[in-house]
Amino acid sequence: MNPLTLQFAPAAAIPVHLIGEVQSKLAYVDERIAKAQISPAGDQISLELKRAVPTAEQAVIEEKVQRVVVSMAQGAIRPKVQVLEDYLDRPTPFAGDPMPELLRRGELSREANGIYALGPLLSHLIDWFERRFLGLAESFSAQPYRFPTLIPAQYLERVGYFRAFPHSLSFATHLREDLDQIDAFAAGAACDDHGNLNVPLERFAPIQTLLSPAVCYHLYFTLADQTLSPQGITATAVGNCFRYESLNLQSLERLWNFTMREVIFVGDKDFVLENRELARQRMQRVFGEIGFAYRVESANDPFFIGEFRKQAAFQSAFQLKYEIRARLPFKDGTLAVGSYNYHQDFFGRHLNIRLPDGSPAHTGCVAFGLERIAFAFLAQFGFDPTQWPSSMQEILP
Ligand code: AMP
Ligand code: ZN
């Protein structure tokens, strides 16, 4: 039999708190998987395949899935979730899914999976939140920076990004500087029915550059091999970020290409931690003014399979990451619209950024996902501006 669905029990029990993390990684197990689901109790895995697969190959796919399960779930300890703010219960006037309406209005145009063009309503909403984020940056006298969308492979290698997040990398290259190759490309380049360009890989130059996955890394690289002045650095920047999320790419909630505003702190430990905490308190007031329903809780980054258990436990033990999780009433769930991060002296050590006393600098950042915050706002407040907080009604022309 060559079924299109595979079902089996996981080799190790998947604790409930890890179901989402493991399930999202199953997207990267095999190209033939169209959908992967773990039962709510964590005791059943079900894979939908794109096409029928011979029995021997099914066993290969199952074995790869079990490798993920064992690596991520076996012996995993549930981290204690620390909640710093809880306003999830704030009443909000809307409960629909904004996506169909955004598409119907032409406010969103899907260019490809995880890639969208945004129209005026979303742009005005993002501008409103941007003004608040810039206000936050100003309150710290943060200096503005502009960073490129591309990032050298060597940079990411230096900070261990390839080991931690290989699955989500996006590579950038160009044609080799060779007239025959360029002429052949110009004469024959075309996309097939799946949108795949019919160009042999050897026509491309070796990869030296990627699309940047985060904003603050660029600042740390500008500071490499330097000694900071005693007052440290406070910076802000907005930029395009890229994280390939495969089957998990979904609506405006999970994009391949998204925009992040960051406020970044570089200095000694107390400087970074105190400013991170101040930023949280200042944003608490901003969110309170519009009656946003959200919670701030401890979290971890989506490390790849082999790195996940160790790194996530480390982040949790040292309270390195907190997420602002907005309520999405239409799915009775939450979505991370921002994060408060502390990297200890990780970048200071790897990039040789020194404090005046010669010790490695500490870094931290506050990061907001602009598409997500606009999406979460519409999910809570809907499309009728008379239902919006009064301070936001002015944004529409
Ligand atoms: P992080 O550095 O992972 O905490 O990301 C900062 C913020 O960027 C998150 O809180 C999200 O709001 C946003 N973000 C991260 N990944 C994505 C994605 N794939 N699509 C849309 N927004 C994202
Ligand atoms: Zn950052």
Assess whether the C-beta atom of 30 lies below 6 angstroms from ligand 1: no
Which of 278, 255, 321, 290 minimizes the C-alpha distance to 131?
Answer: 290
Q: Does 115 score more than 80 pLDDT? A: yes
Ligand 1 closest atom vs CA 256: 19
Assess whether the C-beta atom of 320 lies below 6 angstroms from ligand 1: no
d(CA 251, CA 187): 36
At 167, is the secondary structure helix, strand, or coil? helix
Give 95 Cα–ligand 1 centroid separation in angstroms: 23
At 230, is the secondary structure helix, strand, or coil? coil
What is the value of pTM for the model shown? 0.95
pLDDT per position as a tens digit, 72-94:
998 888 888 999 999 999 999 99
Q: Which of 108, 220, 264, 339 to mutate to test the pocket of ligand 1 (most atoms within 8 A of CB)?
A: 339
At 394, is the secondary structure helix, strand, or coil? coil
DSSP string, 5-32: EEEE--SS---GGGHHHHHHHHTTT-TT
Mean pLDDT of 91-102: 98
Ligand 1 closest atom vs CA 338: 10
Q: Which of 251, 253, 256, 258 to mutate to test the pocket of ligand 1 (most atoms within 8 A of CB)?
A: 258
Give 368 Cα–ligand 1 centroid separation in angstroms: 7
Model pLDDT, residue 317: 87
Give 291 Cα–ligand 2 centroid separation in angstroms: 26
Fold of 5-73: Alpha-Beta Plaits (3.30.70)
Ligand 1 closest atom vs CA 252: 21
| Ligand nearest the Cα atom of residue 347 | 2
Assess whether the C-beta atom of 376 lies below 6 angstroms from ligand 1: no
Assess whether the C-beta atom of 159 lies below 6 angstroms from ligand 1: no
Look-up of token digits 């063009």: 117
The percentage of the chain sitting over the pLDDT mark of 90, rounded to a whole number, equals 91
Model pLDDT, residue 75: 82
pLDDT per position as a tens digit, 371-397:
999 999 999 999 999 999 999 998 887
Please list, residue by residue across 354-385, b when 16 or more beta carbons sit within 10 angstroms of its beta carbon and e when fewer do.
bbeeeebbbbbbbbbbbbbbbbbbbbbbbeee
pLDDT per position as a tens digit, 145-192:
999 999 999 999 999 999 999 999 999 999 999 999 999 999 999 999
Closest residue CA from atom 3 of ligand 1:
301
CB-CB contact of 103 with 117 (8 Å): no
Assess whether the C-beta atom of 372 lies below 6 angstroms from ligand 1: yes
Average pLDDT score, the chain: 95
| Ligand nearest the Cα atom of residue 321 | 1
Give 299 Cα–ligand 2 centroid separation in angstroms: 14
At 264, is the secondary structure helix, strand, or coil? strand
Q: Are strands 115-118 and 108-112 parallel, antiparallel or unpaired?
A: antiparallel
Residue 286 C-alpha from the chain's centroid: 23
Which of 388, 377, 382, 379 minimizes the C-alpha distance to 126?
Answer: 377
d(CA 51, CA 235): 50
Closest residue CA from atom 1 of ligand 1:
339
DSSP string, 50-116: SS---HHHHHHHHHHHHHHHHHHHTT--PPPPPEEEE-TT---S--S-HHHHHHHTTSEEEEETTEE
Out of 3.30.930.10, 3.90.226.10, 3.40.50.2000, 3.40.50.170, the CATH code matching 83-166+209-392 is: 3.30.930.10
Assess whether the C-beta atom of 336 lies below 6 angstroms from ligand 1: yes
Assess whether the C-beta atom of 325 lies below 6 angstroms from ligand 1: no
Residue 223 C-alpha from the chain's centroid: 24
- How distant, in Å, are the alpha carbons of 9, 13, 313 from that of 77? 20, 12, 8
Q: Where exactly are the structural domains of the chain? A: 5-73, 83-166+209-392, 174-203
- How distant, in Å, are the alpha carbons of 125, 183, 296, 302, 370 from that of 376? 11, 47, 15, 21, 10
Q: Does 236 score more than 60 pLDDT? A: yes
CB-CB contact of 90 with 293 (8 Å): yes
Ligand 1 closest atom vs CA 373: 12
* pLDDT band at residue 310 under the 50/70/90 scheme: confident
CB-CB contact of 270 with 293 (8 Å): no
CB-CB contact of 356 with 228 (8 Å): yes
Structure tokens at 268: 């000694």
Assess whether the C-beta atom of 337 lies below 6 angstroms from ligand 1: yes
